[in-house]
Amino acid sequence: NMQVFPAVCGYSNGNILIAYTRQKSLDVVSTNGELKKRTRFNNYDHNKTKMRTDNSGNLINVLYDEDAIYYFCSCCVTDDAFFVISQEEYRPPLSRSIIYKFDWAGNLLMKYYCNKIITNLVVKDDKIYSIAKSDDEEYEISYAEL
């Protein structure tokens, strides 16, 4: 089902985070499968009309139109919170990522607007470390204080 609902996942203290790549929503689930919290943002199913199947060969593939929005691409979990990166503002050349911070009850705690596209992050000692592309298209390590 990851082809229909691709997602990034994380785990901490009996909580599983599922942040969906092609819909702007996330779930917090217990290890026994109980849904603890579902968060759906406004227009969360924007890509529903941009999804189609391709029945070529023996496989059925799910494809998305080129203008489909790519939401959550990476996450980082801590004992008391989780962070997810969204690429919803990908509009070259003014593209930037947004980092959302939630507690494990699913409450939005903070929203960080980045001045560039980042692809991964790690949180350590109240700092966010990430991989980003520089202005000259090289990858670099960036960090910001929370």
DSSP string of 31-73? Answer: TTS-EEEEEE-TTTTGGGGGEEEE--TT--EEEE-TT----EE
Rounded to an integer, what is the distance from CA 60 to the centroid of its chain? 25
Read off the pLDDT band of 126 (50, 70, 90). Answer: confident
Q: Which of 28-32, 58-62, 100-104, 110-114 shows the lowest mean pLDDT across its residues?
A: 58-62
Residues above pLDDT 70, as percent of the chain: 92
Task: Check: pTM over 0.75? Answer yes or no.
Answer: yes
Report, as an integer, the average pLDDT of 110-128: 87
CA distance 124 to 119: 17
The per-residue pLDDT for range 71-118, each reduced to its tens digit, is: 898 999 999 999 999 987 666 666 788 999 999 998 999 999 888 888
Q: What is the pLDDT at residue 39?
A: 94
pLDDT at 18 over 80: yes
Q: What average pLDDT does the chain have?
A: 85
Tokens found for residue 47:
């890509």
Res 14: pLDDT = 93
Give the span between the Cα atoms of 146 and 131, in whole angstroms. Answer: 17
Neighbours of 74 (CB within 10 A): 21
